[in-house]
Structure 1
Amino acid sequence: MRIVGGKYGGRMFHPGKKFKARPTTDVAKEGLFNILENRYDFSTKKVLDLFSGTGSVAYEFISRGCEHATMVENNFNHYKFILEVIDILKIENAKVFKADVFKFLNKSPELFNIIFADPPFDLPKFESVADAVLETELLAPEGVFILEHPKEYDFSQHQYFKELRKYGKVNFSFFEKD
């Protein structure tokens, strides 16, 4: 896993053989962050990274100067890896929760400007993730929710869908409530 840009750009971390996550590709991350950096001033943004896996996407936000990042990961080995990387990089503006994402969504009192979710592609009821996030009050006004998904899913008819970006096999659907 490599951090593509920003303060920690080029840093590589190896999660080991026990890792079962499918990290977002460098090409997809680079494309996504080219879009986001042109739209948002990260220094004023609080980010929520759901199904964090390696924490790769949250590190990109932190590396590029976001105000704060919260990561939620249920797998203990993944959670432990995220904590190790945060310690190595001496990141102070992040929190990590070892929790079920759906339970976290119903309990968190915070507002986030950017919510990113990269659920396992074989997650039962994958298509319900968008509604699970957007039915909460976690997305700040003028905030964006980004869902990474395989091409088999089409969210273009969702009431809050705004756009789709494709990078190879990686698809990002953007949602806004405003």
Structure 2
Amino acid sequence: MRIISGLYKSRKIIAPKNLPVRPTTDMAKESLFNIINNLYYFDAITVLDLFAGTGNISYEFASRGTENITCVDQDFGCIKFINQTAEAFDMPLQTIKSDVFKFLEKTKIQADVIFADPPYNFSEEQFSRIPDLVFGNNLLLEDGVLIVEHSKHTDLSNVKHFSYSKSYGGNMFSFFEITAQ
């Protein structure tokens, strides 16, 4: 995988083969960041990266100037790899080793962008729990967005707070926002 833009543009990051991950493709990541670039100033936002895996998405935010990034993953190897990479590139990433659902139930961290890349084989109920917990616990800041990456075979359009989705190859990004009551 490589960093698409910013301070670390074109840097390659090689994750150990034994990590239980499926990194977001470069094409999908570039398209996603084109959308985010039109919504926010990267140096002025707080990011929460759930199911962070290799840290691929967090590195992209850091490369573009985001300084407040928290990565959450339950796998020790993933957290260790993110910490090592963040240290090597001097990136301001904070990591939390935790089951994402337990983390969302207890955290008080609020963010402008919450990105979740859970396993593609999650059930619709498991996918739905992510926005339920994010919105139920008021974890998005004003004008914030929750982005959930999933397979094109998963439809989240009926989940509360769904706004829209974008498809890139086999990847989908569903966007969830606070809606006016």
TM superposition score category, shorter chain reference: over 0.9
Matched positions, count: 177
Structure 1 unaligned regions, length at least 5: none
Contact 1:127 1:153 survives alignment (8 Å): no
TM-score of the aligned structures, taking structure 2 as reference length: 0.92
TM-score of the aligned structures, taking structure 1 as reference length: 0.94
Whole-angstrom CA distance in 1 between matches of 2:13 and 2:133: 31
Q: 1:148 to 1:120 in 2, by over 3 A?
A: same
Structure 2 unaligned regions, length at least 5: none
**Residues 29-44 of structure 1: matches in 2 within 5 Å?**
29-44=29-44
Moved more, 165-174 or 1-10: 1-10
**TM superposition shift of 1:152:** 1.9
**Residues 65-76 of structure 1: matches in 2 within 5 Å?**
65-76=65-76
**TM superposition shift of 1:44:** 1.1
**TM superposition shift of 1:5:** 1.0
What is the SS of the residue equivalent to 2:38? helix
Alignment correspondent of 2:106: 107
Whole-angstrom CA distance in 1 between matches of 2:135 and 2:11: 33
**TM superposition shift of 1:122:** 2.0
What is the SS of the residue equivalent to 1:155? coil
For 1:13-64, what per-residue CA distance to the aligned partner results, in whole angstroms no more than 9, with x for missing partners? 1112212200000000000001110121111100000000000001111111
- Of all paired residues, the percent bearing the same amino acid is 44
Alignment correspondent of 1:77: 77
Alignment correspondent of 1:57: 57
**TM superposition shift of 1:106:** 1.8
